[in-house]
Chains A and B, each alone.
Chain A
């Protein structure tokens, strides 16, 4: 039973120098309790896909296609419908915990207002549950933190507050947009532990958006790789890591520095720049940077095609063979 079903999603932004296609023909689905990792560079459309699901696109953004949350289409849904789902059944953890909490409101109130909004509880009850939630995400001296302002907490604690806030109503789906990017490495591991704990204990479906493959490896069941607004490869996490079939995925994996492999000490990179979404190359958007490129890639765009059970890629070349 899928909790989120995205079908042929396109997101376009009207800008002063023309229309920009941020997301192109993306289809994804996610079952209850599953963790789907979304990997890609900045501008690959990974965040915008799920901003569209939350109804939080910027005012100039226009989504088309279908985003079915528990069977209901979120695209074109009115603000009241969206507001009854957001924060209650589907919630989001944002990238930057430094700026994503309201600076002039105490932590306890920011947590409590989610419950007051969706569960209609009293202020005292909301406070008690907020305290319990802060303890659940392992915030020390939780009682004291309730009456603090966000700037009085460290980045790691603030991200825990964000997670606690997302969990207040026990949602069926959590979208975590780069939840660890702004944090120290040691804190990153703690945040991932908390997310794993939430996923396992509450059977919450998690979408983990990141550019860090290490984060994906630790948490995700399945992975979708995005490039220039399209999904280029999708599959279960084990086979994607062991046997990447798209050149871009291979490139990403090769870029991950490893301590256990011998090397010349240089970092591997994918040559070239991420493409300008307004001037996409013809054919496959990745072809100018691709080392497996053939003539066909420059003229024709490869479709996302199934290559094995649960796996698909958008590439003409059989990467294993070369």
Chain B
């Protein structure tokens, strides 16, 4: 097991290097640059700016410089957020996004998985149709529709009642201010988890060994929990691996609507601004998270099914 993890971590290094390299050159191939604003900048100032940000050298030299800084853990200065380094932006924003993402993840797991199991056990019943109806809604209604609707209900409709919830304010992350954004973030994951769990549980309950367990006279709840659940969790873990990485790095839509100081918005803003270093920073962060999660998923497979154990 340990040697498996060590091997996967070693493979992750060239993977990450390839991602960084491709991303670096793609950004510079894209038309426009960080200083192409609406108002044209005088050529002398532009030349100074380019020199200040190391953009006047040949691309290969820039690449080597960037990689050298990266090896020291320095993501470089942001091109747009003046006076901030990318390290500082991530250090401020990532904890906010990760805390919200983690809360949303826990919410999704404790609601989505039990709902999916219930729907599978009562297949084609009212409970099943209700769960599947809600989860279909959760999947098809995009966040930029769901969030304003929830704001309309909880912040405006229920104004001056005990159920009113604030929106668009952060207050340093006070509990009440997190409820709506976290709920919005988790909805899609609740919906997906319920559907995936239902499908894989129905499949697991059809297995021959579940019939064997029933033939032993085990009560049905024991059959489900001991014999079917682990198998049913394999697709759930597969989905959650990259899902967790996306959740932790925040959502541009939710963070913009609720005005959260996370890093989700940097993905889009950074790309539009040609903020090369910022885009590189968030890309490296999310790529590392996805790679880490995939290693964890592979380890989980071995726990859930001893036939794929890595020795």
A in complex with B: yes
B53 on the interface (CB 8 Å rule)?
no
**What chain B residues lie within 8 Å of A100 (beta carbons)?**
208-209, 211-212
Set B208, B219, B230: member contacting A94, Cβ < 8 A? B208
B220 contacts partner chain A, Cβ-Cβ < 8 Å = yes
Q: Is the CB of A117 within 8 A of B217?
A: yes
Q: Is B39 an interface residue (CB 8 A)?
A: no
From B213, B214, B305, contact of A103 by CB (8 A): B305
- For residue A143, CB closer than 8 A to chain B, the reply is no
Q: CB-defined interface of B272-311 with A at 8 Å, one 1/0 digit per residue?
A: 0000000000000000000000000000000011110000
A149 close to B218 (CB less than 8 A): no
Are A105 and B207 in contact, CB atoms less than 8 angstroms apart? no
Cβ–Cβ < 8 Å partners of B305 in chain A: 103-104
Q: Is the CB of A92 within 8 A of B215?
A: yes
In the complex, what residues of B have CB within 8 A of residue A91's CB?
215-216
Do B208 and A99 touch (CB < 8 A)? Answer: yes
Interface residues on B, range: 20 to 34
Asked if A29 is at the interface (CB within 8 A of a chain B CB), the reply is no
A114-B306 in contact (CB<8A):
no
Q: Is A88 an interface residue (CB 8 A)?
A: yes
Tally the A-B contacts, defined by beta carbons under 8 Å: 72
> Chain B contact residues: over half helix, strand or loop, or mixed?
helix
**Which of A20-28, A79-87, A128-136 interfaces with chain B?**
A79-87
CB atoms of A85 and B217 under 8 A apart? yes
State in angstroms the CA–CA spacing of A103 and B209 once bound together.
8
Q: Which of A94, A117, A162 has a CB less than 8 Å from the CB of B218?
A: A117
> With the chains together, A104 CA to B216 CA distance in Å?
17
- Please report the C-alpha to C-alpha distance between residue A96 and residue B304 in the assembled complex, in whole angstroms: 22
Q: Is B226 an interface residue (CB 8 A)?
A: yes
26 intermolecular pairs with C-beta atoms under 8 Å apart: A54-B215, A56-B215, A79-B219, A79-B220, A83-B217, A85-B217, A86-B216, A86-B217, A87-B215, A87-B217, A91-B216, A92-B215, A99-B207, A99-B209, A103-B307, A104-B230, A104-B304, A105-B227, A113-B218, A113-B226, A117-B216, A117-B217, A117-B218, A117-B222, A118-B217, A149-B306
Closest 10 CB pairs of A and B: A87-B217, A87-B216, A86-B217, A99-B208, A102-B209, A83-B217, A149-B306, A100-B208, A92-B215, A104-B230
